[in-house]
Amino acid sequence: MRKRGLLPDLLLPALVLVAFGAAPFLYSNELMLFNFVTFLALAQGLNIVYGFTGYLPFGYVGFYGAGAYGFALAVMHLHAPPLAAMAAGGAAALVLAVVLLPLLRLSGAYFAIASLAAAQAVYEVVSNPALENVTKGPYGVSLSGVFAPRFSYFVALAILGGAFALVVWLRNSRFGLALQAIREDPVSAASAGVSVVRGRTIAWLLSALVAGLVGAAFAWHISVFYPDTAFDLGVSIFATVFVLFGGATTLTGPLLGVLILYGVYNWIGITVPQYFQFIYGALIVGLVLFLPNGLVSLLTARGIRVP
C-alpha cells in the first residue's frame, strides 16, 4: 500500500482548530461558534460510518441525544463533575450503538429508516412523563450548576480534534482501506479476507462515540434543554447534508459543507429570512443534481488530491 503521508491530512484540521480556538476572543457570538464546532464534529463523525462503510443513519441524532442525556443524568443523579459526565455521555451513546448493532444487518433505505425509528423510540422513552423523576420527561433538563459556556466550547473543540484524528487515521490505515472495500463490495471484501462484520461494527461504534460526546458537550454548554432539542431531527438532516454537499470519505468535504452551508444558513436567516427556504433549498438541490459526489469532486476531477 502506498503511504499518502500524514502531514497533508493533518495541516487542514490544525488550521481549523487554531482558527476556532482563537474565534471566541475575536467574535462575541459564542453560541454560533459552538454550533459551527458541533456540526463540524458531527459531520466528521457521520463521515466515519457513511463515508467509509456506506451506511447512512438518518437517526444519527439518537446518539447525540443519548450523549446529552447521559451527561445530564450523571450530573443530576450521580453529582458527577462535568468532565466525568462527558465520559458518561459518550458511554451512553456507545451503549445505544451496541443495542442497535442488529440494524447493521440491514442496508440502504431499510437501514436509514430503521435508524430513524430507533432514534424516535429513544426520544419517546426519555420524554415520557412517567419518567419525570429520572429524565425530567418532557419538562426539560436544567443543569445551571455546571454552566460553563467558554470551557465547554473548548471541550467541544477537543472533540472535533479527535474526530479529525479518527478520519485521518482511517484515510491512512489498512483498516480504513478495508472499510472502503466493504463499502464498495462487501462480498468481494469478505473473499479477500476482510472481516465485514468487525469493520462495520467498529466504524459504527466510533461514529456513535463522536456524536455522543458532542451531545454531552451540547448539554454542558447550554445546560437547559428539552427532549425536542436533544433529539431534533434537524441535527441528523444538517449533518447528512453537510457531508453530501462537501463530499464523503475526505476531511475537506464535510468541513466545506459545514462552513459553506451553515454559513449561508446563518447569513440568509439574518439578511433575507423571507427567501430562506427557497435559496437554501435551491443551493442544496443544485449541488446534488450537478455534483452528486460533492464539492471535492471538482478538485479530484482535475487530479488534485484532497485531504
What are the pLDDT digits (tens) for 31-88?
A: 999 999 999 999 999 999 999 999 999 999 999 999 999 999 999 999 999 999 999 9
Helix 196-222 with 82-99: angle, nearest 10 deg? 140
Taking Cα atoms as reference points, which of 62, 25, 57, 36 lies closest to residue 267? Answer: 36
Q: So what's the pLDDT on residue 265?
A: 83
d(CA 184, CA 182): 6
* Phi, psi (deg, nearest 5) at residue 141: -105, 135
Q: So what's the pLDDT on residue 22?
A: 97
Q: So what's the pLDDT on residue 128?
A: 96
Q: So what's the pLDDT on residue 41?
A: 98
Low-confidence ranges of the chain (pLDDT < 50): 1-3
| All cell numbers assigned to 148 | 460553563
d(CA 212, CA 38): 11
One-character DSSP codes across the chain: -----HHHHHHHHHHHHHHHHHGGGT-S-HHHHHHHHHHHHHHHHHIIIIIHH----TTTHHHHHHHHHHHHHHHHHH---HHHHHHHHHHHHHHHHHHTGGGGGS-HHHHHHHHHHHHHHHHHHHT-GGGHHHH-GGG-EE-GGG--HHHHHHHHHHHHHHHHHHHHHHHTSHHHHHHHHHHH-HHHHHHTT--HHHHHHHHHHHHHHHHHHHHHHHHHHH-EE-HHHHT-HHHHHHHHHHHHHH-TTSSHHHHHHIIIIIHHHHHHHHH-GGGHHHHHHHHHHHHHHH-TT-THHHHHTTT----
Contacts of residue 165, defined as CB under 8 A and 6 or more positions apart, other chains included, come to: 13
Taking Cα atoms as reference points, which of 275, 307, 28 lies closest to residue 150? Answer: 28
d(CA 37, CA 161): 10
| All cell numbers assigned to 38 | 458541533
Q: So what's the pLDDT on residue 151?
A: 96
183-191: long-range contacts (C-beta < 8 A, 24 or more apart)?
183/52, 183/53, 183/54
Taking every pair of Cα atoms in the chain, the longest distance, rounded to a whole number of angstroms, is 59
Buried b (16+ CB within 10 A) or exposed e, 116-155: bebbeebbeebbeeeeeeebbbeeebebeebeeeeebbeb
Q: So what's the pLDDT on residue 4?
A: 52
